[in-house]
Amino acid sequence: MKILVGYKRVVDYNVRVQVKPDGSGVATEGVKLSPNPFDEIALEEALRLRERGVASEVIVVGIGPADLTVHLRNGLAMGANRAIHVVTGDAVQPLTAARALLKLVEKEQPGLVILGKQAIDDDNNQTGQMLAALWDRPQATFASKLHIDAGKARVVREVDAGLETLEIDLPAVVTTDLRLNEPRFIKLPDIMKSKSKPIEALELAALGVEPGDHLEATHYAPPPKRGKGVMVKDVAELVAALKNKGLV
């Protein structure tokens, strides 16, 4: 069984994001870029399934500009067998990403697609659900445990009332939560081995997918700066201060 894993590049989570002066977007020039943390969890789970003999091949897929290859090598160094790079210089929204992934699913015929539940740059949490709908296959989102057996996936996910267990038929789409696993540390020999692993490059247009924007962002703005704290002498003064601010 093949497992297809989405692998998106985002601004590193340790970087303090800055909005461009004209409010047209986020400044990325000279900023450290890294794989989306949820996607690394997805890849780690796929590798563990392969190590348990459930899968025979793990393929990482990235959609983005030419320099995305460097980050796909990171996925190969973690242990993926090969990578597919869908090349586009345009910003890719969730529906476009889902359509591109569907074309690759039709081409590769994986038994399972694992995606991060969301990307930390836009927090849309939509691509996995859209792919499942377009593919017309079952989905299980926010997985904190995943077990594959006899052509079925059993997924434990966190909900407001506690834990929910789903059993779905394969092929299917699963999106990963933080508690599913902890991605492995990449060692230098693995980095060297990754250089010999294949990366297939495909233009987005060659897949028959248009990058059109379905949502338009009109303006970006940083969150308001936090005001200075106020020292109070007792509870009565605290309550009075809160009343003045209309908080109680």
The total number of structural domains in the chain stands at 1
Give the pLDDT score at 176.
95
Look up the pTM and report it: 0.84
Tokens of 171: 């092929």
pLDDT along the chain (248 residues), means of 10: 93 83 79 90 96 95 91 94 92 90 96 94 90 96 94 92 93 94 92 93 89 76 81 90 85
Give the pLDDT score at 213.
65
Enumerate the β-bridge partners of residue 182.
none
> Side chain identity at 184, as an amino acid letter?
R
Give the pLDDT score at 217.
79
Q: What is the pLDDT of residues 143-179, one digit of tens each?
A: 999 999 989 999 999 888 889 999 999 999 999 999 9
Give the pLDDT score at 163.
92
How many Å apart are CA 54 and CA 149, to the nearest integer? 8
Which CATH number fits the domain that encloses residue 142?
Answer: 3.40.50.620
Q: Is 3 exposed, middle or buried (0-12, 13-18, 19+ CB in 10 A)?
A: buried
Could you identify the residue written with the tokens 């704290």? 229
State the residue range of the domain holding 52: 2-244
